[in-house]
Amino acid sequence: MGQQVGVTQKTLLHVFAYTPLEAATQKDFDDFEKATGDMVGKIPGLRKVWVGKLREPLPVTGDYIRTYGVAMEFDGANALRVYAEHPAHAEWVKVYEKVRVRGTTTLDILGE
């Protein structure tokens, strides 16, 4: 077998953790997961998405604890700007607002 060599990615990861709304239903979460996945193919430069529960809760200032997260892989910083202004993102935000308390912990990681 040949030796495997790790290669770092040159893409951008947009990762955020959020606190779920207590009133959010399973249908709300299912709709959010679907809406998040549906953006791939609609928004140029958005390659992949991950939606799920954090392995460990993330405490933040105040009484909030982030327990869920999303990761999105983009071609680069320009693709993230396209996403932010795209009509599909505006529609997605309406679904996202049904599952989260306002405010997130966000990281944008630029591959080198």
Residues 19-56 pLDDT 10s: 999 999 999 999 999 999 999 999 999 999 999 999 99
The model's pTM: 0.90
Both structure tokens of 23: 């009133």
pLDDT average, residue stretch 56-77: 93
Percent of the chain clearing pLDDT 90 (strictly above):
86
Are 102 and 54 contacting, i.e. CB atoms less than 8 angstroms apart?
Answer: no
Cβ-in-10-Å burial (0-12, 13-18, 19+) of 18 comes to: buried
The ranges assigned to domains in the chain are: 12-103
Distance CA 64, CA 101 (A): 9
For residue 63, the model assigns a pLDDT of: 77
pLDDT class for 1, splitting at 50, 70, 90? low
What pLDDT was estimated at residue 6?
A: 78
Domain 12-103 has CATH 3.30.70.100: yes
Check: CB of residue 16 under 8 Å from CB of residue 104: yes
pLDDT at 47: 98
Rg of the chain over all Cα atoms, to the nearest angstrom? 15
pLDDT surpassing 90 at residue 64: no
Q: What is the mean pLDDT of residues 55-75?
A: 93
pLDDT computed for residue 61 by the predictor: 79
Output the average pLDDT for the chain.
94
CB 66 within 8 A of CB 57: yes
